[in-house]
Amino acid sequence: MITDGYPYTKSPFYKAPYFLTFKTGHSAPSNFLTFNSFQIPNSYDRILSMLTYNDDIDKFMSTFNTDIHLPYQKTLPLNSVIEFRIYDSEKTLVKFKDQSQLYIAVEII
């Protein structure tokens, strides 16, 4: 996956590790405490996975995964738009070039 500017973990634009976040309304509870800075309180977020970029195969690799529990409200919650974003460790949104593809497998339990 080619990032905007430089495709590797050692990018001058992004700092590893990367976080795959999940966004869909406010119905999904937060599952992760994010460190903001010293003397600034941590903030809650919805993290699906922590990623690193493998330079040898030019691919994001998952370091750990977390679960998101979507509340059941008499309809299937996945009928609405689900948005995924990747941020670096400094909370900078990682931008991808056109024609790049990111495959995300969702397991429904």
Name the residue ranges covered by the structural domains of the chain.
1-109
What pTM did the predictor assign?
A: 0.70
The pLDDT, as a whole number, for residue 13 is 76
**Residue 32: Cβ-neighbour burial (10 angstroms; 0-12, 13-18, 19+):** middle
The stretches in the chain having pLDDT less than 50 are 5-9
Which residues are CB-contacts of 35 (< 8 A; sequence separation ≥ 6)?
42
| Length of the chain as a residue count | 109
The pLDDT, as a whole number, for residue 8 is 47
58: left (phi over 0), alpha (psi -120 to 50) or beta: left
